[in-house]
Amino acid sequence: MSNPPAAVTLVERIESNSGLDPLVERFRPLAEALVASPTRSDALRGKWLGHALHPLMTDLPIGFWTSALVLDLAGGPSSRDSATRLVGLGILSALPTALTGWAEWATIGQREQRVGVVHANANVVALVLFTASWRARRRGADKRGKSLALAAAAVLGFGGYLGGHLVSARKVSSRHPVFELS
């Protein structure tokens, strides 16, 4: 294709950016330790489910945070407490979601790991912003909390795009061998 979309060009640059390799090397021992136990690896990578657990787990924080944003934008003052709780639930569900992602990351190639560390870092930034949003809401600074949540959602969208690229374009995910035959 002579003029790929800007997002495709960006991902290609990330994939070929050897400047990310020191970051990949920094996280590799942690990810490898996470999957060192076959039982833990199988559980985190979704062997018991027949395919990767991480994409399924991402629905939790994304769903909680998206629901909070909908309440922020359309729910009115009576929905403030619910939105705050939803942001908090998203924060709580982010850690197990990240663990399943790191378990997948431990088994993929260098090019994909480069994208994976940018994906993970974007998600960490989003998590920090959502945590700041939750704290602001708890202090009664609802406008600030909503603004932080909107900023977090934008960063989360970028991280999600990269995660989608890994699964859709690069076919990174665990799957049961029966699916390899069909």
Q: Is the pLDDT reported for residue 96 higher than 60?
A: yes
Task: Give CA–CA dist 91/22, Å, rounded.
Answer: 28
- Tell me, what's the pLDDT at 181? 62
Domain assignment present for 12 = no
pTM listed for this prediction: 0.94
Please name every residue paired with 172 in a beta bridge, in sequence order, or none if there are none.
none
Residue 150 lies in a domain: yes
Q: Is residue 37 part of a domain?
A: yes
Structurally, the chain folds into a number of domains equal to: 1
pLDDT in tens, 154-178: 999 999 999 999 999 999 888 877 7
- Please tell me the predicted confidence (pLDDT) of residue 182: 56
Is 182 contained in some domain? no
3-class secondary-structure state, position 145:
helix
DSSP single-letter state for residue 174: -
Tokens 């489910």 belong to 49
Asked, for residue 22, whether it belongs to a domain, the answer is no
- Residue range 111-115: average pLDDT? 98
- The verdict on residue 49 lying in a domain is yes
Structure tokens at 107: 């088994």
Please tell me the predicted confidence (pLDDT) of residue 122: 98
Tokens representing 63 are 């769903």
Burial of 144 (C-beta count, 10 Å sphere; 0-12/13-18/19+): middle
| Confidence class for position 33, pLDDT limits 50, 70, 90 | very high
Q: Which two tokens stand for residue 130?
A: 């959502």
pLDDT bin (cut points 50, 70, 90) of residue 1 is: low
Q: Which domain holds residue 138?
A: 28-170
Instruction: Please provide the DSSP assignment of 4-26 as one string.
Output: --HHHHHHHHHHH-GGGHHHHHH
DSSP character for 168? I
